[in-house]
Amino acid sequence: MIGIVVVLLGVLGGGGFFGYKWWMAKKAAAGADNATEQKVEEGQGEKKAAAGQGGEKKDEKGGEKGAAAGPEGGGELVSIPPLLVNLAEPQGRRYLKLALDIEVKDKAAADQLNKSMPKVKDSLLLLLSSKTYEDLGSLENKILLKKEIVERLTLVLGEQKVLRVYITEIVIQ
């Protein structure tokens, strides 16, 4: 009698486990479709955002004619390799993959950024892992994230050397 109960509990437990995995696999597949759609939308949105950011920079240059407003042709680009973090979700099943290009004002700032790369990655990983899916879902929130990244990089570099942040790859799943 006890043996039958043990076998029955094992079968029910195994069935429940596989049912749960099957159900979660369906959710993950739906999430992957959403992530793909979001990546396509992000590519279109980033073009608009970059155009908007370029306009802001022109306004800054126009307002600072007497001061050195940075190089006319733009600054130096420093690539940040893809960062992969778990998002701050209750179940911990979502992740973010993000690659960036950072535009700094000159070669000296680019060298300083490269030398400070461990600090930069640490700061960015802490920032990104504190975000939820909802924090990153809309275009406005992605632009806000770019501003937060500029603030973090400014803390690491010590001065206003960062001109722009470009998101070159983003996957949220």
Distance CA(21)–CA(26), nearest Å, equals 9
Residue bearing the bigger pLDDT, 22 or 146 = 146
Give the pLDDT mean for 55-68: 34
Residue 147, exposed/middle/buried by CB under 10 A (0-12, 13-18, 19+)? Answer: exposed
Q: What is the pTM of this model?
A: 0.57
Residue 40 has what pLDDT? 45
Ordered structural domains, the chain, with CATH? 35-63+74-172 (3.30.479.30)
Name the percent of the chain in helix, strand, coil, to the closest 5.
Answer: 60, 20, 20
Residue bearing the bigger pLDDT, 24 or 150 = 150
User: For residue range 70-117, what is the model confidence (pLDDT) as tens digits?
Assistant: 445 578 899 999 999 999 888 778 899 999 999 999 898 999 999 999
Distance CA(153)–CA(21), nearest Å, equals 41
User: For residue range 128-173, what is the model confidence (pLDDT) as tens digits?
Assistant: 999 998 888 889 999 999 999 999 999 988 777 899 999 999 998 8
Closest CA to 172 of 133, 138, 140: 133
Residue 169 has what pLDDT? 94
